[in-house]
Each structure stands twice: as C-alpha cells, then as structure tokens.
Amino acid sequence: MVLCANIIPKERKVFLEHIGIECKELGIAFISEVAQKYKYSFIDETTSIESLKNESLITVLPDSVSEDEISVWIFQGNPQRYDILNALSDEKIGNSIHWLVNQHRKKIKKGHIGLIWMSGQDAGIYAITRINNDPKPMKENIPEKKYWINSSKEHDVTIRVEMSIIKKLINNPILKKNLIGINGIEKLSIMRQSQGTNFPVTNEEWRIIPNSKLIES
C-alpha cells in the first residue's frame, strides 16, 4: 500500500511507514506538470486563469488608499501545522476563513486585501481574500479547527481576522518560484524574510503579482 498526498506530516509519515505503508509526497508543482503533460484541466483551473486575465485585481484595493499606504497583506501558513489546501477546499468553510495576526496588528485593517500563502516546497499564493474586520480576539469556526495538524493554542481565542475569499487558486497557485526574478518583486517582504505570519505587500508589487500568473499560463 502506498499513500500519495501533496503534504504528509512527519509524524504521520513515521507512523504509516512503521506499519508498512509507503508514503510519497507529490507537490502541487509536480501534479500541475503531470496535468499539463496529459492535457488535464482541474475544475478551478480555467476559471482562475481566465479571471486573472480578464479582471484587473488591482481594482479590489480600497478606494481611499494612498499610493504609499499598505493595504495588501500576505497571510502565511505552514502545511506541516495547518492543512491549508483541504481547508480551502472544504464546502463547510466555504468562502469565509479566519487567520492569525501575529505581526502588523495595528496596520492590518478591515477592507484590506489578504493573500493566503502556503510555505514549503510549493510555496506561493493559494487564495485572494478581502479582510472583514480589524484584528481582534476571535475563535475560528468549528469546521476550520480540524485542519490543525496538532492540537495547540491556535484553537483558542487569539488575535485573528475573518476573510472572505475572492478567488481560490488551489490547483493553479501563484508560485514563489515563478515570482523570483520578476522585476519589481525582488524586494517582496516574504522573499527577504520568510519567518512570520503576516507580511506587507506594496501597491506597486500588487500591481505586478496578478500579471505574473499570465507568465506561467
């Protein structure tokens, strides 16, 4: 028996291999390459690409934002701690998801844009969201809690925001490897220092990032 998945937490891999089940991690990038080879399209792939081609996502910025004001934020998650992809796919969670705010608590505001970023070998942006409230002590919704790999304080009331998902890019993410080297993105905060949960994105960087998707497609 072989278990194939995009992410297999270390403790689960150790247990499964101990009882004779081989584990193979097949990352999103690898799966996308196989899909392209056999001309397979995921359900959300065409929608994601076409929407990015036909819509100017910069228009989702708040009207009152000045050029120098930060209003786009990366919300990073570690797939070894939180099963991001399955959480984003869960119909019970739908298009409303909570996220921890550990940095920039006074600067992240209701109406700003959130970019859900998964770390790891397939690091990149997997969803674009609208932030629904200023950071405040909150609990997650019950359907979200089961995606934490280990029980921890993340389940408790802590500083979070609730976000409405504008676009999901689960099978067609904006990968970090495709952002590296693009003029104007080289100083993106999460590229320079990846430790943390919340990272600012300048308005100019946000004008470039959606277009980077078209380079891949």
Tokens for 137, please give them.
Answer: 């002590």
Residue type for position 137: P
Same domain membership, residue 161 and residue 112:
yes
Same domain, 82 and 26: no
Q: What is the pLDDT along the chain (217 residues), one digit of tens a residue?
A: 888 876 677 777 888 888 889 988 776 666 666 766 776 665 554 444 444 444 445 445 555 555 668 899 999 999 989 999 999 999 999 999 999 999 999 999 999 999 999 999 889 999 999 999 999 999 999 999 989 987 666 668 999 999 999 999 988 889 898 898 888 888 899 999 999 999 999 988 988 887 655 444 4
* Single pTM value for the model: 0.76
The answer to whether 163 and 194 are in contact (CB under 8 A) is no
Q: Assess whether 6 and 80 both reside in one domain.
A: no
| Tokens describing residue 170 | 């689960």
pLDDT value at residue 212: 59
Residues 82 and 160 reside in one and the same domain? yes
Q: Quick one: 87 exposed, middle or buried, by C-beta within 10 A (0-12, 13-18, 19+)?
A: buried
Rounded Cα–Cα distance for residues 103 and 117 (Å):
15
Quick one: 205 and 98 in the same domain?
yes
| Helix or strand holding residue 85 (H, E) | helix 84-89
Q: Please indicate, yes or no, whether residues 12 and 95 belong to a single structural domain of this protein.
A: no
Instruction: Report the number of distinct structural domains present in the chain.
Output: 2
Do residues 96 and 65 share a domain? yes
Whether the Cβ atoms of residue 171 and residue 28 lie closer than 8 Å to each other: yes
Q: What is the pLDDT of residue 66?
A: 59
pLDDT attached to residue 172 = 82
pLDDT computed for residue 215 by the predictor: 42
Q: What CATH number is associated with residue 93?
A: 3.10.590.10
Q: What is the C-alpha to C-alpha distance for residues 138 and 140, in angstroms, rounded to an integer? A: 7
80 with 181, same domain: the answer is yes
Residues 77 and 173 in one domain: yes
Do residues 132 and 68 both lie within one domain?
Answer: yes
pLDDT of residue 43: 55
Domain assignment of residue 89, given as a range: 45-216
Residues 8 and 55 both lie in one domain: no
What is the pLDDT, as a whole number, of residue 58?
47
* 83/20 same-domain check: no
DSSP tag of 197: S
